[in-house]
């Protein structure tokens, strides 16, 4: 049975006066209680302690934060949840404090031997051979017990093999082939339970030591790199390499592969131990693979070498790939992204490009590990808005015949942004018998009817508004403002005109200089009767009450 030494725990509670918040009593003391009295006998063992803030009556105070610290974190650590972890043999003091009050607990880490491990585990030896065995005393978590006493050695059958205090056995010269005997190491009260097996075989070559050359290998910087290893075997009588065959293996085949001839090939980032074994004995060398970025390539997520965006706000995802010197992708590489024209196109930390304005930009990705960048000037991003729709305003309108309505056309991209630099619109009317429209977007009512579509076409995309032409007379706002800005009205011979007094308390009239109009007095807020004109031409008029208020009606065919 393993020997275990009890671990003492001492709880020290310090009392003092202290202040607390106004919503609770002050902390008078700290209670610190371990979850168990089990000693820490293995490195990595843990012990949970619970600290509680108490008032002067010894009652727990809820909501008080406790700070845990260790006097020697090289012996035992403690986290802020009160979990103590054994790190090395020795003694430490764990402190729990709040508001100037403190409690402590003494912790001792004392490894106890739980197992004795033997190497080699199993070997074949000829009669009369003197194989050497090694014993390791470990705790329950398989950590080597520091300061453990040396083992005492025996064998399971002294008639077949004896063993010295140094662990070197001597196989009986008369031991028959096939006979088995095991070395046994005992540390304290714990004996090895496995390993140390010797099988007598007159054809076997005993190998005591295997040496790998080179003894150390520089870290591989790229996948596919290789190094040739060689192994040398020896025993107390000298070099036996020529008499044995080595089996090569890798502890992490995904990191480093090894051929039957000892050729090691880097396969992925990480660490591995490559070993050569023969007759139960092995030698090894550490292999490390840490790819170094030597080049970076950037493409769109669809594999494109450039990107074109047709709408402001449109995005495209870029993908960067890092390569080592052998041309293999570097797994797990991260990148920083930059745009040489962020006013045209921005790029996020994840490589998402967003169109901001028409123009060109270049995006570069740099490996975070060593700042190796994708080739200059970078992946080209072109932002050129394409007209996806045309907005015509106002969307609907109704005008008397022989009058006009101004329409405006706005080209929009697929995200509804105005397209800068688009060509001028081409205008047309769905029914020129009802309304016509000029190149400037001014529609003219020809005859009552509609609604009729007034259409604007830009870059092959069309939009329209609806125009209704009614038979109402033209209404002219008539006020004192005409003294400063004379009124001008243009209409056709078939149309009539109504004057509306828009002043609140002044009477006006509209009287032609020779002929119409002859409205007579128009009261504030009232309208005249409709006035017609006998022929084309211009018809000046004024207000009888305020002769400086003037205007002209222009009659077209």
Q: Work out the end-to-end distance of the chain between its first and last CA atoms, rounded to an integer number of angstroms.
A: 124
pLDDT of 557: 86
CA atoms of 3 and 253, how far apart (whole Å)? 40
Q: What are the DSSP calls for 129-173, one per residue?
A: ---B-EEEEE-TTS-B-TTPPPPEEEES-TTTEEE-TTSBEEE-T
Tokens describing residue 336: 């920083």
pLDDT of 6: 34
CATH topology of domain 474-555: Immunoglobulin-like (2.60.40)
Tokens describing residue 12: 């020290």
Contact 92, 72 (CB under 8 A): yes
In this structure, are strands 389-393 and 180-187 parallel, antiparallel, or unpaired? unpaired
Specify the DSSP class assigned to residue 181: E
The SS3 of residue 482 is: helix
CA atoms of 262 and 531, how far apart (whole Å)? 112
pLDDT of 22: 55
Specify the DSSP class assigned to residue 251: S
Under 8 Å CB-to-CB from 18, ≥6 apart: which residues? 26, 27, 28, 99, 100, 101
What's the pLDDT tens digit per position in 53-73?
A: 999 999 999 999 999 999 999
CA atoms of 237 and 291, how far apart (whole Å)? 43
How large a percentage of the chain has pLDDT more than 70? 96
CA atoms of 400 and 472, how far apart (whole Å)? 5
How many contiguous H segments (helices) and E segments (strands) does the chain have? 0, 49
CA atoms of 490 and 191, how far apart (whole Å)? 120
Kindly list the domain boundaries of the chain, sorted by start residue: 29-109, 115-201, 209-289, 294-383, 389-470, 474-555
Contact 95, 9 (CB under 8 A): no
Asked if domains 115-201 and 209-289 share a fold, the reply is: yes
Q: What are the DSSP calls for 342-368, one per residue?
A: TTTEEE-TT-EEEE-SSEEEEEEEEET
CATH of domain 209-289: 2.60.40.1080
Mind listing the pLDDT tens digit of every residue in the chain (557 residues)?
333 333 333 333 333 334 444 578 999 999 999 998 888 999 999 999 999 999 999 999 999 999 999 999 999 999 999 999 999 999 999 999 999 999 999 999 999 999 999 999 999 999 999 999 999 999 999 999 999 999 999 999 999 999 999 999 999 999 999 999 999 999 999 999 999 999 999 999 999 999 999 999 999 999 999 999 999 999 999 999 999 999 999 999 999 999 999 999 999 999 999 999 999 999 999 999 999 999 999 999 999 999 999 999 999 999 999 999 999 999 999 999 999 999 999 999 999 999 999 999 999 999 999 999 999 999 999 999 999 999 999 999 999 999 999 999 999 999 999 999 999 999 999 999 999 999 999 999 999 999 999 999 999 999 999 999 999 999 999 999 999 999 999 999 999 999 999 999 999 999 999 899 999 999 999 999 999 999 999 999 999 999 999 999 999 98
pLDDT of 29: 96
Answer yes or no: CATH 1.10.150.20 is held by domain 29-109. Answer: no
pLDDT of 23: 73
Q: What are the DSSP calls for 63-98, one per residue?
A: T---EEEES-TTTEEE-TT-EEEE-SSEEEEEEEEE
Q: What share of the chain is helix, strand, coil (3-state, %, to 5)?
A: 0, 50, 50
Pick the CATH number of 389-470 from 3.40.109.10, 2.60.40.1080, 3.40.1160.10, 1.10.10.10: 2.60.40.1080
Under 8 Å CB-to-CB from 47, ≥6 apart: which residues? 34, 35, 36, 38, 40, 83, 84, 107
| Cross-strand bridge partners of residue 337 | 365
pLDDT of 219: 97
Phi, psi of 480 (to 5 degrees): -65, -20
CA atoms of 436 and 446, how far apart (whole Å)? 7
pLDDT of 2: 39
CATH of domain 294-383: 2.60.40.1080
| 252 Ramachandran zone, left/alpha/beta (phi>0; psi -120 to 50) | beta
pTM of this prediction? 0.70
Phi, psi of 111 (to 5 degrees): -60, 140
What's the pLDDT tens digit per position in 440-488?
A: 999 999 999 999 999 999 999 999 999 999 999 999 999 999 999 999 9
Under 8 Å CB-to-CB from 21, ≥6 apart: which residues? none
CATH topology of domain 115-201: Immunoglobulin-like (2.60.40)
């Amino acid at each position: 049975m393993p020997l275990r030494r009890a671990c003492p725990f001492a709880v020290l509670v310090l009392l003092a006066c202290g202040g607390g918040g106004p919503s609770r009593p002050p902390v008078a003391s700290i209670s610190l209680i371990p979850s168990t009295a089990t000693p820490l006998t293995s490195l990595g063992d843990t012990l949970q302690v619970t600290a509680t803030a108490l008032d002067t009556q010894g009652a727990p105070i809820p909501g008080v934060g406790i700070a845990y610290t260790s006097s020697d974190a090289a012996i035992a650590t403690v986290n802020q949840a009160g979990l103590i972890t054994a790190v090395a043999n020795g003694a430490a003091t764990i402190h729990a404090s709040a508001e100037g009050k403190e409690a402590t607990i003494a912790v001792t880490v004392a490894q106890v031997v739980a197992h004795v491990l033997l190497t080699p585990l199993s070997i074949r030896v000829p009669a009369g051979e003197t194989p050497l065995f090694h014993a390791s005393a470990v705790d329950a978590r398989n950590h080597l017990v520091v300061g453990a006493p040396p083992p005492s050695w025996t064998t399971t059958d002294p008639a077949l093999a004896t063993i010295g205090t140094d662990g070197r056995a001597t196989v009986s010269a008369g031991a028959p082939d096939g006979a088995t005997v095991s070395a046994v190491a005992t540390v304290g009260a714990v004996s090895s339970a496995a390993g140390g097996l010797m099988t007598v075989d007159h054809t076997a070559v005993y190998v005591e030591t295997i040496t790998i050359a080179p003894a150390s290998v520089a870290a591989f910087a790229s996948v596919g790199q290789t190094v040739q290893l060689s192994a040398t075997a020896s025993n107390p009588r000298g070099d036996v390499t020529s008499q044995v065959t080595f089996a090569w293996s890798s502890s992490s085949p995904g990191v480093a592969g090894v051929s039957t001839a000892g050729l090691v090939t880097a396969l992925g980032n990480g660490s591995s131990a490559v070993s050569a074994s023969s007759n139960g004995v092995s030698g090894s060398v550490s292999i490390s693979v840490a790819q170094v970025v030597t080049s970076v390539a950037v493409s769109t997520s669809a594999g494109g070498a450039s990107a074109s965006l047709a709408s402001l706000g449109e995005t495209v995802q870029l993908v960067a790939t890092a390569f080592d010197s052998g041309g293999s992708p570097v797994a797990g590489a991260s990148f920083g992204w930059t745009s040489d024209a962020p006013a045209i196109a921005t790029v996020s930390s994840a490589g998402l490009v967003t169109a901001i304005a028409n123009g060109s930009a270049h995006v570069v990705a740099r490996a975070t590990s060593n700042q190796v960048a994708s080739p200059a000037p970078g992946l080209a991003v072109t932002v050129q808005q394409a007209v996806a729709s045309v907005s015509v305003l106002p969307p609907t309108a109704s005008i008397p015949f022989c009058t006009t309505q101004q329409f405006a056309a706005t080209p929009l991209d697929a995200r509804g942004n105005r397209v800068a630099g688009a060509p001028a619109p081409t205008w047309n009317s769905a029914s020129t018998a009802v309304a016509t429209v000029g190149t400037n977007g001014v529609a003219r009512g020809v005859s009552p009817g509609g609604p009729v579509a007034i259409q604007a076409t830009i870059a092959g995309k069309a939009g329209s508004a609806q125009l209704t032409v009614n038979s109402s007379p033209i209404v002219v706002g008539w006020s004192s403002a005409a003294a400063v800005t004379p009124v001008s009205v243009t209409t056709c011979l078939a149309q009539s005109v109504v004057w509306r007094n828009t002043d609140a308390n002044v009477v006006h009239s509209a009287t032609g200089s020779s002929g119409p109009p002859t409205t007579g007095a128009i009261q504030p807020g009232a309208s005249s009767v409709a006035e017609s004109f006998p022929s084309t031409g211009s018809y000046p008029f004024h207000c009888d009450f305020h002769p400086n208020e003037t205007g002209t009606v222009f009659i077209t065919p």
